[in-house]
Amino acid sequence: MNFLFVHQYFPGQYLHLARHLQQAGHNVVFLTQRRGRELPGIRILEYLPLPASGAIPLHLQEVEMGVMNGLAVARICEGLKREGFTPDIMIGHCGWGEVLFVKDVWPNVPLLGYFEFFYRVSGSDLDFDPEFPSTTIEPTRIRTRNTINLLSLDAANWGQTPTEWQRAQYPEIHRSRISVIHEGIDTDLVHPEPSARLWLRGGASFAPGDEIITYSARNLEPYRGFHTFMRALAKVLEQRPNARAIIVGADGVSYGRLPERAANWREYMLTELEGRLDLRRVSFVGWLPYQQYLAVLQLSTAHVYLTYPFVLSWSLLEAMAAGCLVIGSRTPPVEEAIDGTSNGYLVDFFDADALAERICSVLRDPRRLGADPGAGAAARAREL
């Protein structure tokens, strides 16, 4: 069979699926704007959208960019069609407009759309954190931000999303055509490793048996609870003199915005906690090569994952697959992965004191929750 994948950031959510199909003998073509890696046997074609005009009102700028992406992908598809290529199925992310026009090239080919997130003015991420409220323009902009989402719902024959909560954000009229199927974690690659070791630049090293608190996000920002984690960490390091923290994540912004009085959220929190945080026991490691990142998870005594009600991170499920004892926020869709009783803990997103207390209890006894062989094993079992 011929499979056509479309995703702005190759391979995106389709790493495991595209690789599996290619290895099974299928012909896989992947259209992308930015390739981050190569997958043997998969043909990768890059598209380049026309630049934004600069004359579009703020509320419509994402719509304009989505249309530009869709037109650029359609041009590549027309070239493939002239070559004689016809996909049996098209699979693509619906957040950036890329799949808007693919069925104009191949009207009879089914399109499976990945519907990641439908934005809401209330009851979701936008109005969740009173410490960092949305700007006055955000609610009106959110209305038009869903334009590409809604057009893609009309374009796709069927949809897929990774969690029940993410599906529930879409208008009820469309939910019956969206299946909940997570893209998966490679549990053969991501697994517990009792002999894991980690060495960092500057001479810091970590070994099994150390009291290691871990936190991971693409970028260190409030959307992923970085502010709450740092406030809790200061309290934990005061109470646990042998505890050390490894913080994985860059200083950019994936979601939300940069702070007003600092270059990034790491500097913002370090300024707030100046004199209260023992930085000799805190390692900010930025982005790590994947094998080093896995070693961080495999060495973790207590792994913290916090998030606004938003898209679920792969890092949570990777931590569970690695056998981490996870302390997560009691927010959707985290509650779909962690039950709070057998495979990890749940705490209030904003309660730094409760988070610190829970981390300390885990450091004192990494085998609680009454499970045998422990919550880490139960977390991994959830992913198998």
Residue 193 lies in a domain: no
Asked if residue 171 and residue 207 are part of one domain, the reply reads no
> Of 154, 180, 206, which residue is a domain's last?
180
CA distance 309 to 331: 6
CA distance 131 to 274: 20
Q: Determine the pLDDT at residue 38.
A: 86
Asked if residue 378 and residue 242 are part of one domain, the reply reads yes
> Of 180, 211, 234, which residue is a domain's last?
180
Asked if residue 118 and residue 10 are part of one domain, the reply reads yes
Asked if residue 260 and residue 133 are part of one domain, the reply reads no
Q: Determine the pLDDT at residue 125.
A: 95
Domain membership of residue 170 as a residue range: 2-180
> Of 136, 152, 180, which residue is a domain's last?
180
pLDDT mean values, one per 10 residues, the chain (384 residues): 97 96 98 89 96 88 95 98 98 97 98 97 94 84 92 97 98 97 95 95 91 98 98 98 98 94 97 97 96 97 98 97 97 97 96 98 78 54 59
Asked if residue 240 and residue 157 are part of one domain, the reply reads no
User: How many domains does one find in the chain?
Assistant: 2
CA distance 308 to 296: 24
Q: Determine the pLDDT at residue 371.
A: 45
CATH number at residue 122: 3.40.50.2000
Asked if residue 230 and residue 174 are part of one domain, the reply reads no
Asked if residue 272 and residue 153 are part of one domain, the reply reads no
Asked if residue 212 and residue 151 are part of one domain, the reply reads no
Residue that the structure tokens 């959220």 belong to: 265
Residue 186 lies in a domain: no
Asked if residue 24 and residue 173 are part of one domain, the reply reads yes
Asked if residue 206 and residue 92 are part of one domain, the reply reads no
Asked if residue 239 and residue 138 are part of one domain, the reply reads no
Asked if residue 274 and residue 218 are part of one domain, the reply reads yes
Give ∠ CA 198-203-207 in degrees, rounded to 5.
Answer: 30
Q: Determine the pLDDT at residue 247.
A: 98
Angle between helices 314-321 and 290-299 (to 10 degrees): 60
Q: Determine the pLDDT at residue 382.
A: 59
